């Protein structure tokens, strides 16, 4: 806090506003960088999940004739397990897990599965899109939603507590 500037404002003396330095602007961008890096890592893991999910989905749908919603759910489950293992080890490495981390992941993925199945049904049944195209569109929406939920809840990191003067 700048007490000198506060006192001058209170006394009515005007000061010329100082332009922001480049380092101040850079500092404002720094907090966003870790989120961007995490999102990119989550996206890379997501690509592997998506490839695995689509491989299982296509195999079950085209080769074994499994109903498209069941094939999607099975593929989603395989991708979710892959995603948990990779995200826990790489994307959210700074997260100190507890016994509830897999439970939170399962809840988020369950909600993602419900969203995926709902979107897939609407896109295939009501919008009459091709089943593979519909799955690709649903996957995009679900990826953004599950990243947000996993970052905020499943793999949240607890900020270190600030030391107040005199508490040290």
Per-range mean pLDDT, top range of 33-42, 45-54, 100-109, 114-123: 114-123
Q: What mean pLDDT do residues 21-29 have?
A: 52
pLDDT over threshold 70, residue 30: no
* pTM assigned to the model: 0.65
Q: What percent of the chain has pLDDT over 70?
A: 75
CA angle (30 as vertex; 26, 31 as ends), nearest 5 = 140
Say whether pLDDT at 159 is over 90. no
User: Residue 31 above 70 pLDDT?
Assistant: no
CA–CA dist 58, 72 (Å, integer)? 9
In the chain, pLDDT over 90 holds for what percent of residues? 43
pLDDT, tens digit (0-9, with 9 covering 90-100), for 54-88: 999 999 999 999 999 999 999 989 998 998 889 88
Mean pLDDT, the chain, integer: 80
- Show contacts of 40-43: CB within 8 Å, 24+ apart: 41/87, 41/90, 41/91, 42/87, 42/91, 42/143, 42/147, 42/150, 42/151, 43/143
d(CA 8, CA 11): 5
Half-sphere exposure of 115 (CA within 13 A, CB side): 16
Distance, in Å, from the CA atom of 89 to the CA atom of 54, rounded to the nearest integer, reads 23
**How many Å apart are CA 117 and CA 88, to the nearest integer?**
25
How confident is the model at residue 5, as a pLDDT? 45
Q: Considering only 27-41, 56-70, 131-145, 154-168, which range has the smallest mean pLDDT?
A: 154-168
């Amino acid at each position: 806090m700048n007490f000198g500037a506060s006192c001058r404002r209170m006394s009515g003396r005007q000061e010329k506003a100082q332009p922001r330095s480049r380092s101040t602007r850079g500092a404002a961008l720094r907090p966003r960088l870790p989120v961007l890096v995490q999102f990119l890592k989550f996206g890379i893991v997501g690509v592997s999940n998506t490839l695995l999910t689509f491989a299982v989905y296509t195999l079950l749908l085209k080769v074994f004739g499994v109903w498209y919603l069941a094939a999607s759910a099975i593929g989603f489950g395989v991708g979710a397990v892959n995603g948990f293992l990779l995200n826990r080890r790489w994307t959210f490495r700074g997260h100190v897990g507890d016994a509830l981390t897999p439970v939170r992941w399962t809840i988020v993925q369950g909600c993602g599965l419900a969203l995926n199945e709902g979107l897939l049904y609407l896109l295939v049944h009501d919008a009459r899109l091709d089943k593979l195209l519909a799955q690709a569109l649903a996957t995009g929406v679900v990826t953004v939603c599950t990243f947000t939920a996993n970052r905020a809840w499943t793999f949240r990191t607890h900020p270190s507590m600030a030391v107040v003067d005199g508490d040290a």
